[in-house]
Amino acid sequence: EEPEAARRELEAGIAQARTRSPLLAAQLLDQKAQVEQELGQRAQALSDWQEALRLAGETPLPGLVAHLHLAAGSALHEASQGQRG
């Protein structure tokens, strides 16, 4: 219940931030993706990390972009491991 409630709150924040502050929306998408990973929603988490990367664009926060690439890459790796087994 708590992770689902957190996900809904993050979705509301993302909707508000998307046009006003794409960088904030990217950070919120990262948080939402982490919650989705906990819920076992790996495909949605990966989609959110990819969208976060798109929104982050040429951000002056290279650490954020590196984190998003790592998270998305890790999700892809986990997904590929599941397909092999």
Q: What are 15-33's pLDDT values in tens digits?
A: 999 999 999 999 999 999 9
| pLDDT above 70: percentage of residues in the chain | 96
Q: Give start and end residues of each alpha helix (H) in 2-61.
A: 2-20, 22-38, 42-56
What is the mean predicted confidence (pLDDT) over 41-70?
A: 93
What is the mean predicted confidence (pLDDT) over 1-28?
A: 94
pLDDT at 85: 56
What is the mean predicted confidence (pLDDT) over 33-38?
A: 94
Pick the closest to residue 34 from 76, 82, 63, 68 (CA basis).
68
Cβ contacts of 11-19, under 8 Å, gap ≥ 24: 18/55
What is the mean predicted confidence (pLDDT) over 44-64?
A: 92
